[in-house]
């Protein structure tokens, strides 16, 4: 997958070096290391280090458009299989209705199913879709490395396979990957954590902690490594301090994306490392886990830290928190646009037309480079939320003060 194995090795090595010097760099850490620190802190150098790290995030798309033709066409009104994971975030819940509505409007017969009970259920659902004669299989995988047999069956039946949001791993039997740019999502989150701390948390160095997604979700790696491509230089120069010492993806993973798992881990970290220290920032890969971190901070009596916390998915429960400054930011990945992109591609496949992609070089699933169609994610803070959500009726109401009850967690 996109640049990731090499990055993982580099991060692990850098993390080891960072931990070796962590105690010397941290001083008393009572308000980040920026309050009560020793006189040897070169604030200007640390500030420049963080400014350089934040500025390293490129703007715009890096892709080059090309086309592929994975289908020779099929009958109008065909069955389209859409296999989705458990409803662990608001975006997955919304996708169900959007797929049904948009596919039906385009003249297709959608078969949308969620794998609430895990991989085996999704395997059975995909097999059933193949048996029922779907012409395109859209898969948001529970675990993208565990569907190889079913995907091989789909390809043998002449079905076009599209990986939706999560890359399908270790298989030749995937034609296309359609997603928001998840590596860029991580970069934007890392950038926002730095920018937010520099704006609101005084001078560096800053204390931060890291949260990653579920290890069985292929997206957890690009989220984390994208973020660490921005944060790691700050850790290396001593501007960012991880008092827990937990800096690898394995150490900070959250099994199942469950809020309870993230909150339990954060409770332990706060109790062990922050009884007399301020936590300036938390890298969280999505809004659900951001709210878990917020709950942990509040339970520990640390709401006054005003910790800068990242998120993703623009969940309605997090938007009021962003407007109040409790959560610093989220990422908007408009599900309706992603679903519309899938419908457009299905139309092209139905007609046997070429499909436009914008990355044919970097998404390696372990067996092949998967042609990829990436959409651009958008950062949302209190400053731009009303503007970003102006055409999203579900989310725009949540920017009001006070927010309506339907925006509550």
Judge if 328 and 341 occupy the same domain.
no
241 & 148 share domain: no
Cβ neighbours of residue 111 under 8 Å, at least 6 residues apart? 79, 80, 81, 82, 129, 132, 134
In this predicted model, what pLDDT tens digit does every residue of 228-281 receive, in sequence order?
Answer: 999 999 999 999 999 999 999 999 999 999 999 999 999 999 999 999 999 999
Choose one of 278, 300, 332: the last residue of a domain.
332
316 and 203 part of one domain: yes
What is the per-residue pLDDT for 38? 44
For residues 225 and 189, state if they share a domain: yes
For residue 58, the model assigns a pLDDT of 79
- 211 and 323 co-located in one domain: yes
pLDDT in tens, the chain (409 residues): 554 444 443 444 444 444 433 433 332 344 445 443 445 789 999 999 999 999 999 765 556 889 999 999 999 999 999 999 988 888 899 999 999 999 999 999 999 999 998 999 999 999 999 999 999 999 999 999 999 999 999 999 999 999 999 999 999 999 999 999 999 999 999 999 999 999 999 999 999 999 999 999 989 999 999 999 999 999 999 999 999 999 999 999 999 999 999 999 999 999 999 999 999 999 999 999 999 999 999 999 999 999 999 999 999 999 999 999 999 999 999 999 999 999 999 999 999 999 999 999 989 999 999 999 999 999 999 999 999 999 999 999 999 999 999 997 5
Looking at residue 223, which CATH number applies to its domain? 3.40.50.2300
Residue the block writes with tokens 């059933």: 128
CA distance 187 to 53: 10
Which residues form the domain of 169? 71-174+335-376
**Bridge-based pairing state of the strands 109-114 and 79-84:** parallel
User: Do 193 and 235 fall into the same domain?
Assistant: yes
Q: Does 237 map to a domain?
A: yes
Residue 18: predicted pLDDT: 42
Residues 80, 27 share a domain: no
Residues 108 and 57 in one domain: no
Residues 199 and 284 in one domain: yes
Q: Write down the residue that tokens 């990653």 correspond to.
A: 212
- Looking at the structure, tell me whether residues 274 and 240 fall in a common domain: yes
Q: Are residues 97 and 212 in the same domain?
A: no
> Residue 140: phi, psi to the nearest 5?
-100, 100
Total tally of structural domains belonging to the chain: 2
Q: Is residue 315 part of a domain?
A: yes
CB 198 within 8 A of CB 183: no
Same domain, 137 and 75: yes
pLDDT of residue 60: 56
Per-residue pLDDT at 235: 98
Classify residue 399: in a domain, yes or no: no
Query: Quick one: pLDDT at residue 62?
Result: 58
Whether pTM > 0.95 for this model: the answer is no
Whether 408 is in a domain gets the answer no
Within a domain: residue 226? yes
Residue 300 forms part of a structural domain: yes
**Does residue 390 sit within a domain?**
no
- Residue 263 counted as domain residue: yes
How many residues belong to the chain? 409
Assess whether the previous peptide bond of 402 is cis (omega < 30° from 0): yes
């Amino acid at each position: 997958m996109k640049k990731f194995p090499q990055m993982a090795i580099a991060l692990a090595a850098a993390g080891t070096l960072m931990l070796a010097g962590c105690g010397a760099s941290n001083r008393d850490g009572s308000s980040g290391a920026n309050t009560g620190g020793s006189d040897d802190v070169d604030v200007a150098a640390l500030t420049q280090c963080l400014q350089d790290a934040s500025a390293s995030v490129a703007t715009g798309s890096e892709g080059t458009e090309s086309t592929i033709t994975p289908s020779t066409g099929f009958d109008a009104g065909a069955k389209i299989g859409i296999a989705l994971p458990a409803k662990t975030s608001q975006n997955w819940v919304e996708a169900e209705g959007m797929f049904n509505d948009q596919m039906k409007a385009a003249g297709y017969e959608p078969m949308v199913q969620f794998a609430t009970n895990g991989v085996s259920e999704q395997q059975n659902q995909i097999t059933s879709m193949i048996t029922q004669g779907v012409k395109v299989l859209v898969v948001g995988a529970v675990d993208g490395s565990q569907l190889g047999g079913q995907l091989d069956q789909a390809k043998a039946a002449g079905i076009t396979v599209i990986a939706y949001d999560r890359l399908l791993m270790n298989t030749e039997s995937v034609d296309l990957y359609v997603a928001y740019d998840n590596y860029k999502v991580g970069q934007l989150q890392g950038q926002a954590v730095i920018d937010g701390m520099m704006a609101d948390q005084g001078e560096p160095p800053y204390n931060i902690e890291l949260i990653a997604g579920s290890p069985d979700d292929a997206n957890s790696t690009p989220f984390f490594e994208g973020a660490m491509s921005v944060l790691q230089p700050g850790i290396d120069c001593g501007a960012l301090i991880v008092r827990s010492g937990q800096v690898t993806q394995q150490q900070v993973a959250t099994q199942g994306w469950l809020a309870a798992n993230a909150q339990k881990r954060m409770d332990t970290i706060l109790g062990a490392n922050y009884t007399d220290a301020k936590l300036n920032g938390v890298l969280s890969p999505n809004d659900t886990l951001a709210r878990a971190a917020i709950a942990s901070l509040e339970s520990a009596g640390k709401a006054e830290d005003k910790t800068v916390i990242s998120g993703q998915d623009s969940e309605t429960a997090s938007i009021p928190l962003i407007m109040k400054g409790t959560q610093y930011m989220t990422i908007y990945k408009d599900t309706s646009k992603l679903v519309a992109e899938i419908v457009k591609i299905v139309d092209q496949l139905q007609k046997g037309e070429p499909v436009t992609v914008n990355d044919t070089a970097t998404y390696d699933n372990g067996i092949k480079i998967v042609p990829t169609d990436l959409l651009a994610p958008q950062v949302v803070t209190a400053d731009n939320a009303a503007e970003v959500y102006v055409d999203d009726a579900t989310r725009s109401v949540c920017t009001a003060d006070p927010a309506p009850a339907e925006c509550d967690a």
